[in-house]
Amino acid sequence: MTMTAGNLAGPYDGPLRTGQPAAPGRYGSLLTLLPIVLLVYSALLPPEVRLTLAGQNLYAPRIVGFLLLPFLLLQMVRGNVPFKLVDGLALLGSFWMVFSFVLYYGFAQGILRGTALGLDVIIPYFIARQCIRNLTDLRRLLVLIAPGVVAIGGIMMLEAISGRLIIRSLGAAVFGPLQGYVEGEAVGASVAVGDSRFGLLRAYGPFSHPILGGIFMASMLPLFWSSGLRGWPFLLGVSAGVFAFSSGSSAALLFLILATGLLVYDRVQEKSDLLNWPLLIFGATLLFALLEVIAENGAIASLARFTLTPYTAQYRLLIWEFGTQSVANHPLIGIGFTGYERPAWMGESIDNHWLMLAIRHGIIVPFCFLLLCLVITIQLGRRSVLMDWRDRITMVGLGICLVLMVLLGFTVAYFGSALTWFFLIVGIVASLSARPSR
């Protein structure tokens, strides 16, 4: 199994028709992808691989991001990252993360705590904007990360079958166990302990939680399936997506089911005069609205019954209930790492990324990021209809990946490797959706 020029140059016979100028030489193009490849592979390292500086934990993606920051700033100064209006939403959201902490904690502590969080978002976003200029770049990126993601998926499957956490345990043995945190303050060692589901261990892999690992791996399915790649990159990437089952996560299972259904729907609607994407979106919106009106406890509670563990779903509804009350009490700057008001028996975790951002920073931050995702998804759809059918399918798969990660963000908070990957996807979509198709 070797990496050939054919694998890297294109996924099918004949030229790639993405409406972009001819790609540079193979090695020059690969060099331009190096920053984003480094970020992806750093996201495949366990959180135990870290440095502690000025009281801040620098995990592998954060270390790589900080090292890439001078390069990124240089590229932006040179105009190699054309600024788009949607980039303003990313910048505003990241700025408000820092600003809200400055107002809540004071200047010194706010800058120290908030800047790290803001850069965790903005660096992956703009690295993706700078590196991925066309679909050829995206396909080459997928080829380069395919061995890494399938290796992690395979290890996760071994963890599930053997009942032992392999990567996190090795990371703790070499770099020491992680610290636990309550309201942003260290409270002692925190060791990953897996639980079982369906008689198998819920695999962590290198991720902070099985749910995050499951969503990360599941996102590979729509990306690789629709990529147009052939041969070993396609097989490795799709296999990595299937390995998401080893996380034992209902979110990962839902991701795989929805991604498969949407990919099938896209193929069917191509051949039908009755079906189209606006019709599907309207139908889904109407169904949600009807459930909200006629269901006993609303749409969210009704859909929650279909999770693998109804208790967990009900617990998330309590998080939503008390969390939204906290946002209503502190709408603009949030409450930082301070625990929101809730019953004493409830834990600190907020299993909802968008709610967590609103509680921590106020509603402006999740509003900016959600609006950004909505705008670039619409733009992506408009660009795709003008493309060669192979490229259109790739764009649809990319859009499906982003939409599902946004939706499942209502069931889990992204952080660490998963957060890096999410904003890399957002940056890729923003880059490709903002460029003309012809």
Q: SS3 for 2?
A: coil
Q: Give the pLDDT band (50/70/90) at residue 300.
A: low
Q: How confident is the model at residue 206 (pLDDT cuts 50, 70, 90)?
A: very high
- In a 13 Å sphere around the CA of 307, the CA atoms on its Cβ side amount to 23
Angle at CA 158, nearest 5°, toward 63 and 172? 40
Instruction: Specify the pairing of strand 185-190 against strand 196-197.
Output: unpaired
pLDDT greater than 70 at residue 184: no
Average pLDDT in the 343-370 region? 93
Is the confidence at residue 436, as pLDDT, over 50? yes
Question: Mean pLDDT across the stretch 89-110?
Answer: 96
pLDDT of residue 63 exceeding 70, the answer is yes
Q: How confident is the model over 234-245, as a mean pLDDT?
A: 96
**Per-residue DSSP letter, 49:** S
The single-letter code of the amino acid at 107 is F
pLDDT band, residue 252 (cuts 50/70/90): very high
In the structure encoding, which two tokens stand for residue 60, read together? Answer: 């592998």
Which pLDDT band holds residue 135 (cuts at 50, 70, 90)?
A: very high
Low-confidence winner among 5-9, 46-50, 296-300 (lowest mean pLDDT) = 5-9
Q: Is the pLDDT of residue 418 over 60?
A: yes
- SS3 string, 219-267, reads CHHHHHHCCCCCCHHHHHHHHHHHHHHHHCCHHHHHHHHHHHHHHHHHH
User: How much of the chain, in percent, has pLDDT values that exceed 70?
Assistant: 84
Is the pLDDT at 342 greater than 50? The verdict is: yes
Given a contact cutoff of 8 angstroms between Cβ atoms, the answer to whether 118 and 95 are in contact is yes
The reported pLDDT for the residue numbered 177 is 82
| Residue 267 CA: distances (Å) to CA of 17, 261, 263, 272, 277 | 20, 10, 7, 9, 11
DSSP secondary-structure letter at 274? S
Higher pLDDT, 16 or 310: 310
User: What pLDDT was estimated at residue 270?
Assistant: 81
Q: Please compute the mean of the pLDDT values over residues 364-388 and round it to a whole number.
A: 94
pLDDT exceeds cutoff 80 at 81: yes
| Average pLDDT, rounded, for the chain | 86
Which tens digit of pLDDT belongs to each residue from 304-324?
555 656 667 778 888 888 999
> Taken in order 383, 388, 390, 393, is the CA torsion positive or negative?
positive
The DSSP code sequence of 82-108 is: ---HHHHHHHHHHHHHHHHHHHHH-HH
pLDDT of residue 413: 92
pLDDT band per the 50, 70, 90 thresholds, residue 250: confident
| Mean pLDDT score, 163-169 | 92
